[in-house]
Structure 1
């Protein structure tokens, strides 16, 4: 088995369905297994996996929510591939991304982990795709609004190069590297484990890389309610990372603890942008001349969408008839548009207009 793709899911059924669909398209010429490990979801995830994908994927149904680290580690234990890709369920991948990652990995004998350029549901670049090691000094600067030393700006957004830290939404590696690094540290329930594993790889003499020419849509946070528990886990992971890797005096540790508590208190008072927005000037982009949907819209082919008056428009992409890479390219080259993605069965669409809130699911 060449490649095992691990998708850890928790209550993200609709986003997971489109994720798997895109992965199947991107791996049709690869010796691959797709493993979905479900962390005891309470939505329709397991039913969807059974009825929609059946024998196309392997499903591991965990009896409890083990969190990101343990959930992925348990799935990797059952994987057979010599290469691994840890992938979030709220992603949509382009058709060439896995082939490009495989080719790159073959050419890099000391490669640790490999990441790609992530964009959100509006096409906006997510700078956490490549980061520096978040030392206490760098993290303090970031929390005070100075992220110059936090993101890895020495490598261009669309370039390839060596970086320090990657994001867990897409982490590609050789299985032997994952095992040598011990997998994700299970003391992290959620958040921080990708920083930890990236840094562990560097400490062991590996080099992490970023492929900026390969783009993946990451809607962000579809498995997470951003409440106070989330904030405590998010910022608490930072404290765990410092305690593990950076020797601190009692005074420094107390300062970090106070900073973490302060960030949790501030962020918990901020409202998240979760409300659904009205979809104006809706364009259905499809190559299927017979496709009819029960919503008011204008129908255009992909080649025609560039000529449409797109100010304050919403684009509904029929992924079944379009090349995902071309959709991603359009998203990056346009601004101030809302994007929705139609399921292959044409019974719902998904989208997200903010990387700080959960996305929208609309059933038809």
Structure 2
């Protein structure tokens, strides 16, 4: 088998369904499998997978064992030459894995590969490519200074060697994963991807960022970046430093002070963001399905109309909720439009293939939304 796509889920049932449907398209005729491992969700995620995706390998944990343990469980039963660690609040383009395989063949010492991640607003997520988070770089990040933390030397749309990838999308050979013993299970959540990236480079491989591949990552759906996040981030960094760096009392105190200041800054930033979010004046559904349009009109609260894909060739689109029917417009085009129409007061929603809901997120660090229609 060529590829195993591993998706760890925790209480994001509708986002998980979109993720699996997009992966099904992307694996196409590849010899591949999808493994969903669930950390004791209570939102019907497992029942949905069992009913709608009988070919998916489903592992149901009775408790939340964390990111590292669960992913290691799944990779232990994986059959693919390659594995892709994938968050459930993502959607991949139709040619994602084909492009990754083509690039991997050019890189004989490839460790793990990451891709261009965009959030629900169409903006690039800088954690797609990071430098090694030294104590100083991480402290500066907590204080809002991120230049040393992120790999600014590689263009978001370009490619090149980098130190650290994000666990939302990590594409690598299963043999490499096993050689470095997978994710370190001392981490429960956060820091695992940094640690794995570091272990891969220490083993003599190269991590690579490949900006020619787009993946949508709602991000805020699986974890809200609040004070608790900052505390967990700090804890994960402490584990990483103890394993790989020399720590001291001064460093510990400095980082604790940094976390406190970051919490205060975060509260202020969240409040400011919420004031800046504006409601669109109309909604445009990119579809040829009139029946679906009628059903959506009953639940969408702004004036709604249908349009073809050609609307994006006709000029400027702004202050609009754009609803993409993924049965009509493929994910790779959806992502292109999101990037093209970002930061114009637009909101983006996707109706996954064959589904009776739309979903999206208007802030990269807040929980997204799902709207059902009959």
TM range (shorter): over 0.9
Of residues 80-89 and 238-247 in structure 1, the stretch that sits farther from structure 2 once superposed is 238-247
Number of residues paired by the alignment? 363
Aligned match of 1:236: 235
Residues 324-339 of structure 1: pairs in structure 2 closer than 5 A = 324-335=331-342, 336=344, 337-339=346-348
- Following TM superposition, by how much is the alpha carbon of 1:322 offset from its aligned partner in structure 2, in angstroms? 1.2
Aligned match of 2:284: 283
Equivalents in 2 of 1:144, 1:344: separation in Å?
41
In structure 2, relative to structure 1, the CA distance for the partners of 1:237 and 1:170 (3 Å cut) is same
- Following TM superposition, by how much is the alpha carbon of 1:252 offset from its aligned partner in structure 2, in angstroms? 2.6
Equivalents in 2 of 1:182, 1:193: separation in Å?
12
Equivalents in 1 of 2:226, 2:145: separation in Å?
25
In structure 2, relative to structure 1, the CA distance for the partners of 1:237 and 1:124 (3 Å cut) is same
CA shift digits 1:50-99 (9 cap, x unpaired): 222122x1110011101111111111111111100000000011111101
Aligned match of 2:359: 350
Q: 1:301 aligns with which of 289, 302, 308?
A: 308
Equivalents in 2 of 1:234, 1:248: separation in Å?
16
TM-score (norm 1): 0.93
Equivalents in 1 of 2:132, 2:208: separation in Å?
14
- Following TM superposition, by how much is the alpha carbon of 1:317 offset from its aligned partner in structure 2, in angstroms? 0.2
Aligned match of 1:118: 117
Q: Does 1:311 align with 2:328?
A: no
CA shift digits 1:310-333 (9 cap, x unpaired): 220010000012111111111111
Does the CA-based 8 Å contact 1:112-1:208 persist in structure 2?
A: yes
Equivalents in 1 of 2:44, 2:274: separation in Å?
21
**Structure 2 unmatched ranges of 5 or more:** 298-302
Equivalents in 2 of 1:131, 1:85: separation in Å?
19
Equivalents in 1 of 2:141, 2:265: separation in Å?
15
- Following TM superposition, by how much is the alpha carbon of 1:151 offset from its aligned partner in structure 2, in angstroms? 1.2
Equivalents in 1 of 2:36, 2:333: separation in Å?
27
Q: Does 1:41 align with 2:44?
A: no
Does the CA-based 8 Å contact 1:4-1:35 persist in structure 2?
A: yes
**Cα-Cα RMSD:** 2.1
Does the CA-based 8 Å contact 1:352-1:358 persist in structure 2?
A: yes
Q: Does 1:2 align with 2:11?
A: no
Equivalents in 2 of 1:140, 1:59: separation in Å?
39
Q: Does 1:207 align with 2:206?
A: yes
SS state of the match for residue 293, structure 1?
A: helix
In structure 2, relative to structure 1, the CA distance for the partners of 1:212 and 1:302 (3 Å cut) is same
Equivalents in 2 of 1:355, 1:289: separation in Å?
31
- Following TM superposition, by how much is the alpha carbon of 1:253 offset from its aligned partner in structure 2, in angstroms? 3.1
TM-score (norm 2): 0.91
CA shift digits 1:274-298 (9 cap, x unpaired): 8997453100001335543331511
CA shift digits 1:152-186 (9 cap, x unpaired): 12111111111111100000000111011111111
